[in-house]
Amino acid sequence: MNLADYLLEHVTPGKTALITETSSYTYEDVIRAADGMTRLLRDLGVHKGERVGIFADNSLFWVASYLGIIKAGAVVLPFYPTLEAAQFTALVELTQPTAFCMQDKYLRKYADQVPADAPIVVESEKVAARYAERFSVAVHEPGDPVPATPVDERTDLAALMFTSGSTGTPRAVMVSHRNVMANTDSIVEYLALDENERVMVVLPFYYCFGTSLLHTHLRANGSLVVNNRFAFPQLVLDQMEATGCTGIAGVPSTYQIMLRGSAFPNRQFPKLKKMQQAGGKLPNPFIEELRAAHPQVDYYLMYGQTEATARLSYLPPELQDAKLGSIGKGIPGVTLRVLDEDGNPVPPGVTGEIVATGDNITLGYWQNPEATAKTFRDGALWTGDLAQTDEDGYIYIVDRAKDFLKPSGHRVSSKQIEDHLVEISDVVEAAVVGMPDDVLGEAVKAFIVLRRSAEITVDGVLAHCKQVMASYMIPKEIVVLHALPKNSSGKVDKASLKNPDFVATLHPVTIGTQG
């Protein structure tokens, strides 16, 4: 089955599917928009297996482009709009897109990088007229039903999902139709999603966590409420209340900002039933604050990777007290093991690497056999995440292998230091990196964001560190920023924090050093 048909298999045409800040769309609207895109792409000469890029905010246009491309048998390239020009050029060379679906503002931004021979689908005649002399431009319109292109679920690609690019140019992960179906079925099952679900979406659809929200709620015949302005969290809360959201999903920074930078802890959302969190480990103090603020809402802590389509594990709400800090166990259909370097299971309490198997494990990296062979071995995904298990088999992440520091010769997890920093209620976010040091070899440097009403000083933060950390863990320098830089997935961009010239552009509020 083609993924587009699978996602829309059980929908009710007249039911609300998508709510934006300005409009509401039924499933019939979504289907007609997707069919119009499929027909248009075929008319433009796009064939099965060819790649088509999307540059758009969360919107009906993004959803129609995504479903329309897949229904045409082509492969979605969900570009993220924070790409630098050189990165975009490199990804175009890697993936060789046949066509693009682009909103006006992104066509303006990347017009010089878009290949001149690639047709572009836009939203309006006005935009088409503006670029008619430079490109072959077509206007998207809703259309009558068209059949989906037949596919082999296991081998044909639905998308090339880009990693966040923390190691330089992002990699393109090959996601098959079957990968998405398997992961979607699993998520719908363990979250018990049904047609009554209405989720607030602040995560971009080009990010695999955001895409999975689209998958699951279309499959469940639910509704999605999209807000592209999380920089103003109060507006998100207003929309959640006005639209009667039953769920919300976010990465750690989403909840950290909502808890310590908005009225979320004190507002009531009578219809809110589920909070989903993935994309990194939310520190335990925030988990406790979140559950205390809304004890009637089920909190699902999850773990996943782009290379696993989206999600790999979850911790049920009823185990949040007994297993605080755990990422749980594998979701239905997924097996997670913690193995040593030789592939042997490690005993409880011993650190190893998380290794995953299941139908959601993707097919590797596009045109990168070396990286594929390193990460995907014998049908299993070696995640690069170091973890331990307890006696009951529940998994606790220690850190990413690349995020360990070695101050004064001691091997330290940056996450462990960050967790101590956010124990301070005035600290909204914290990020720790290692910096070269002539004496220590590597020094701990911390970046924090404080509440607007914060009373604590850098000296106060250092005093807390000295109370709760070993001496070699205490940051040599603490920098207070207005906000931490984030990558396209909303995760902290630690690579940029290691660059002093970049940090200077963030206009630090305070810089303190250990005396």
Last residue of a domain, one of 161, 178, 195: 178
Q: What are the tens digits of pLDDT across the range 366-404? A: 999 999 999 999 999 999 999 999 999 999 998 776 677
Is residue 399 in some structural domain? no
Is residue 73 in some structural domain? yes
- Whether residue 465 is predicted with pLDDT greater than 80 in this model: the reply is yes
pLDDT range class, residue 163, cuts 50, 70, 90 = confident
- Whether residue 475 is predicted with pLDDT greater than 60 in this model: the reply is yes
Is residue 124 in some structural domain? yes
Token readout for 196 is: 């009554």
Q: What are the tens digits of pLDDT across the range 437-455? A: 766 778 899 999 999 888 8
Residue 204: closest CA among 138, 279, 264, 256: 279
Say if residues 444 and 474 touch (Cβ distance below 8 Å). yes
Is residue 416 in some structural domain? yes
Say if residues 484 and 429 touch (Cβ distance below 8 Å). yes
The overall average pLDDT reported for the chain is 93
Last residue of a domain, one of 157, 178, 199: 178
Q: Which residues fall within 8 angstroms of residue 400, CB to CB, at 6 or more apart? A: 384, 385, 386
Distance CA 142, CA 36 (A): 4
pLDDT range class, residue 167, cuts 50, 70, 90 = very low
Q: Which residues fall within 8 angstroms of residue 4, CB to CB, at 6 or more apart? A: 34, 67, 68, 70, 71, 148
Last residue of a domain, one of 159, 178, 197: 178
What pLDDT, on the 0 to 100 scale, is given for residue 401?
65
Say if residues 311 and 320 touch (Cβ distance below 8 Å). no
Buried b / exposed e over 456-483, threshold 16 CB at 10 Å, is bebeebbebbeeebeeebbbbbbbbbee
Q: What are the tens digits of pLDDT across the range 234-257? A: 999 999 999 999 999 999 999 999
Q: Can you give the residue range of the structural domain that contains 496?
A: 406-513
What pLDDT, on the 0 to 100 scale, is given for residue 166?
47
Is residue 308 in some structural domain? no
Is residue 158 in some structural domain? yes
CATH of the domain at 418: 3.30.300.30
Token readout for 48 is: 């099965």
- Whether residue 407 is predicted with pLDDT greater than 60 in this model: the reply is yes
Question: Cα dist. 285→130, 325, 464 in Å?
Answer: 52, 10, 15
Is residue 417 in some structural domain? yes
Chain centroid to Cα 350, Å, comes to 29
Q: What are the tens digits of pLDDT across the range 197-240? A: 999 999 999 999 999 999 999 999 999 999 999 989 999 999 99
Strand, helix or coil for residue 377 = strand
Q: Which helix (H) or strand (E) holds 66?
A: helix 60-71
Strand, helix or coil for residue 255 = helix
Distance CA 232, CA 247 (A): 19
Distance CA 398, CA 414 (A): 9
Is residue 383 in some structural domain? no
Q: What are the tens digits of pLDDT across the range 63-91? A: 999 999 999 999 999 999 888 899 899 99
Q: What are the tens digits of pLDDT across the range 410-440? A: 778 888 899 899 999 999 999 999 888 766 7
What pLDDT, on the 0 to 100 scale, is given for residue 132?
93
CATH of the domain at 9: 3.40.50.980
Structural domain count of the chain: 2
Distance CA 236, CA 272 (A): 14
> What mean pLDDT do residues 503-510 have?
88
